[in-house]
Structure 1
Amino acid sequence: MQNKPSFSQSLIPLVCLDIGGTLTKVTFAAKKDFIVNCQTKQELKIQNENEDYEIHFLSHPNSLDVLIQNLEQIGFIVDGESHIQTFYITGGGSFKYYDQISKYGKIVRINEFDALKFGFKLLDSIKYKNTYFTFNNGIEYLQLTASIYPFILVNIGSGVSILKFDNEDQFARISGTCLGGGMFLGLSHLFTGINDFDELLKMTKRGSNAATDLLIDEVHLGFQSPTRDKNEKHVAVSMGKLKQNSNLNQSDLVKSLLYMTTYNISQIAFLHSKLHNIDRVFFSGHFIRNHEETLQCISEAFSYFSKLDQQNRHPYFIKHDGFIGSLGSFWNGIQTYKQNNNH
């Protein structure tokens, strides 16, 4: 039997949470070289050369029991005794689970838009390598040395919020849409009976929307379309072939829903980019989670609308896309922790 962990002074006694509609995102820190006894997202770990700690990330479906189990496995809670000084929490679930979490430590709640602001502030301040990238059949990292501001952020969760960041302190929510990850999950469940988001994403790799969507070149029957491209393969009508195809593959349906969701969001994002004259548009949120099919769909859609308007704008992505909120909560917590410990 594996021995229970004991609390280690190498753990920074802060736990930072972003509790959304379906998932809890956890960010915490430990001294460098501390072995974390929990299944964290190793590819996201941040090793800041200017600090003596590393930042770790993990996520799980919303469940207080699972959260406590993870905190016990890491060593924050030992034999029912919590060694957590403060929880910094954000997201809609911060209200739902407030009373239960408060049993294990003091709680500081962070406005979820402020958490996004602070998350970018942290990433921009340390200029962490391989953080931002474009996607065109593969990831191409941006080596940014200057500030990322100004930019537009399209944060895709269950719903979608669009924010404009003028600088690290000034931002505003300028738009959004209800057609986000929640709609994709709900309609996919309706068509397939599957309610597991990760399984649905796997299905998009196997699927093709050609059997379900009516494409632009099919509308114009090979003649030159108004876009001046007779071989245009972009979507003209989502689910436009359902009526004539009765035996549809479930993976094709899910792929079509992914296109429908990303095309709508990308068009709204591009229009705001044009309206506010800001070239740099970041897409983030746990709907994306660096899934290649999703990245490709957004890139195709955004570039298509840009080309239609004779622009040359491309979408940008963030390696820590689903964790910007919990990372922003961490930024709040670590500033206070340093002040109190005279670091």
Structure 2
Amino acid sequence: MRSRQPAVIDKGTALRLLAAINLRPESRRFAIDIGGSLAKLLYVQRESEVQQELGIKKLDEAWPGAQLSVRIPEIGVILNFFAFETRNINDLVKFLRENWGSGISSKDVRATGGGAVKYAENFRQELAVVLNHLDEMDCLVRGLNFLLTKAQREVYVFDHEPLLSAAMSEPASPSVFPDLENSRKFVDASDDPFPYLLVNIGSGVSIIKVNGFEEYERVSGSSLGGGTFWGLSRLLTNCKTFDEVIELTKSGNNSKVDMLVGDIYGGEYGKVAGLDASVIAASFGKVVMKKEAPDVYGWAGMWKQFVRAIKGSSYLWLNFLLSTPVLGPLLRWMGYDKKTQEKLANLGLRSAFSANDVALSLLRMVAFNIGQIAYLNSKRYDVQRIYFGGNFIRDHPYTLAAISFAVRFWSNGETQALFLQHDGFLGVIGAFLGNDDYDIVNDALRDSPDGTEKLDSQDQLIEEVNRDPVARRRSAGVDRADDNGATNAI
């Protein structure tokens, strides 16, 4: 089965895609969620456009996010998603100024996230576009409620026992690293998904308790989230992108960096705590225990520092060669660009620790912490369902396994972590649905293939989402068995 493509695409591809879409009168079908690390965009299509081969994939076959779509048959639309790093947001503004200009029929864009406030002035001054800011938590909850009640094959449990068993300290290997598509155990949709906890992992972490369609509260959170992982990765490794760090973890062994229970006790500590020898006792604990070589002076010391300087600058020279117009493409084709990512930024520790091991240790440290906090809040509020969302997860099996393991470990196997196919796009879905001042969904929902209209306005779409699921099915003539028709397009 085909694996999902990454949600984050390079800036150039994103802008080419927007340019192609703008050639058609579809500018008003967008919503945007500008977070601290990533900007997420939603583009809405009629099903009829896909059937006529006018869909988003036809505009750019090379676009990795072309497979990141969800079909909603009840209202006759397909939602398409893509994202790029927020640090490139000014390039997006510049692009819109040069390509859209006066061609936009509406000067309002529905937006959420902190960046919708931070960059509002940029959009206003450069484009005369008003970012119609919607509350971030409103959008997150609205987006998740929409998926829970509208999209089948959306919620799943990560079900790969070898990787879950190895989640503490085992290194990656081809026999352990799973095919993600075959490791998802989908959970049936529920007519009543409440109450539940939404653990949204962006730059930081927010934990929201949802009691109903319009009833929720933020009950907890943490500053240790995706931003922590990516920020420390940039300090400790030479990786330039989030996905480069994730790639490093696939060949990492965090037991070379983390101090385990077995390192302290020589085996398991079962007498009181019942801790297996492989349980992490201290993240990065072995770095603290590493003995530094004594300083050497004179000719021997000079030679030692000379060798260290040569080794330390080698990756800089490699980067220089990679940037050359003739030799660079050949070296990248041979895989030498990965050599620059596998070196630690700390010259003194390079001989003892690898960037691969450090990256996996970081990933598990952050993921285990989030999983534990989420479970403790579920106990505090007596909630059984915990949904994890946010672009930190990125479909990476180690991240899924680490969070799943943490919830299972602390709950003694009584609670499972629930994940989402479109975990990073809840906010932008909610933003698209969340403003009844807009009538632009008329354009997205009219002219269905059979010549009928699906819904007449944004208000009706929001009303449809917020209706009781049982009543909605009765009015639509859809029984429980027919729900399987609302399949995810991925």
The residue that corresponds to 1:87 in the other structure is 109
Which position in structure 1 is the counterpart of 2:40? 25
Identity level (%): 29
Out of 44, 47, 50, the residue aligned to residue 68 of structure 2 is: 44
Larger helix proportion of the pair: 2
TM-score, normalised to structure 1's length?
0.88
Instruction: Give the AA of the match of 2:357.
Output: D
- Residue in structure 1 matched with residue 153 of structure 2 by the alignment: 130
How far, CA to CA, are the matches of 2:257 and 2:189 in structure 1? Answer: 40
Say which SS state the counterpart of residue 176 (structure 1) adopts. Answer: strand
**Alpha-carbon deviation of 1:216?**
2.4
Aligned position for 1:163: 208
2:274 is matched with which residue?
A: 228
> In the alignment, is the contact (CA less than 8 A) between 1:40 and 1:56 conserved in 2?
no
Q: Is the alpha carbon distance of 1:334 and 1:41 closer, same or farther for their aligned partners in structure 2, counting shifts above 3 Å?
A: farther
Deviations 1:212-261 (A, max 9, x none): 111223333224423435x4422111111113455101110110011111
1:313 is aligned to 415
Q: Which amino acid aligns with 1:296?
A: A
In terms of mean alpha carbon deviation, does 240-249 or 48-57 score higher? 240-249
TM superposition shift of 1:121: 2.4
1: CA distance, partners of 2:278 / 2:108: 52
Give the 5 Å matches for 1:180-191.
180-191=225-236
Q: Report the counterpart of residue 214 of structure 1 in structure 2.
A: 259
Contact 1:12–1:28 (Cα < 8 Å) also in 2: no
Distance, in Å, in 2 between the alignment partners of 1:301 and 1:338 is: 43
Displacement, 1:106? 4.3
1:64 maps to what in 2? 89
Deviations 1:107-127, CA, capped at 9 Å, x for gaps: 32111011101101221331x
Match of 2:354 in 1: 249
In the alignment, what sits opposite 2:469?
A: none
Moved more, 160-169 or 117-126: 117-126
Q: Partners in 1 of 2:220 and 2:21 — Cα distance?
A: 46
Question: d(CA) in 1 for partners of 2:113 and 2:418?
Answer: 23
Q: Looking at CA atoms only, which structure, 1 or 2, has the larger radius of gyration? A: 2
Aligned partners of 2:149 and 2:191 also within 8 Å: no
CA distance in structure 1 between the partners assigned to 2:192 and 2:383 by the alignment: 14
Aligned equivalent of 1:118: 142
Partner of 1:301: 406
Structure 1 unaligned segments of length 5 or more: list them: none
Letter in 1 for 2:424: G
Q: Using a 3 Å threshold, how does the CA distance of structure 1 residues 140 and 12 change in structure 2: closer, same or farther?
A: farther
Partner in structure 2 of residue 331 of structure 1: 433
**Aligned residue number for residue 394 of structure 2:** 289
Match in the other structure for 1:194: 239
Q: Check 1:7–1:193 CA distance in 2 against 1; reply closer, same or farther (3 A cut).
A: closer
Match of 1:8 in 2: 24
Cα distance in 2 between the residues matched to 1:233 and 1:132: 30
The residue identity in structure 2 corresponding to 1:50 is E
Would the aligned equivalents of 1:185 and 1:195 in 2 still touch at CA under 8 Å? Answer: no
Distance 2:118 2:74 in 1: 36
Instruction: Describe how 1:140-159 pairs up with structure 2 within 5 A.
Output: 140-159=185-204
Q: Does 1:35 find its partner at 2:55?
A: yes
More strand by share: 1
Q: Distance in 2 between matches of 1:78 and 1:192?
A: 39
**Aligned twin of 1:101:** 123
Q: Provide Cα deviations, 1:49-91, integer angstroms capped at 9, x if missing partner.
A: 1223211111111233543588799xxx557622456311011
Show the counterpart of 1:260. 365
Secondary structure at the aligned position of 1:67 is classed as helix
Letter in 2 for 1:300: F
Q: Report the Cα distance in structure 2 between the residues aligned to 1:219 and 1:143, rounded to whole angstroms.
A: 44
> Residues 200 and 6 (structure 1 numbering): CA distance in 2 closer, same or farther, change over 3 Å?
closer
Residues 141-167 of structure 1: per-residue CA shift (max 9 Å, x gap): 112233221111111111111111111
Q: Is the 8 A contact 1:216 1:232 kept in 2?
A: yes
Contact 2:149 2:189 survives alignment (8 Å):
no
- Segments of structure 2 that go 5 or more residues without pairing to the other structure are 1-16, 161-182, 291-348, 444-455, 458-490
Q: How many residues align?
A: 333
Q: Is the 8 A contact 1:135 1:296 kept in 2?
A: yes
1-side partners of 2:100 and 2:136: how far apart?
Answer: 30
Partner letter of residue 100 of structure 1?
N
> SS of the residue aligned with 1:337?
coil
Given candidates 380, 384, 408, the residue that maps to 1:275 is: 380
Secondary structure of the residue aligned to 2:356 is helix
CA distance in 2, matches of 1:206, 1:227: 31
Report the alpha carbon displacement of residue 4 of structure 1 after superposing the two structures with TM: 6.2
The answer for the alignment partner of 2:343 in structure 1 is none
Q: Give the CA deviation at 1:104.
A: 5.8
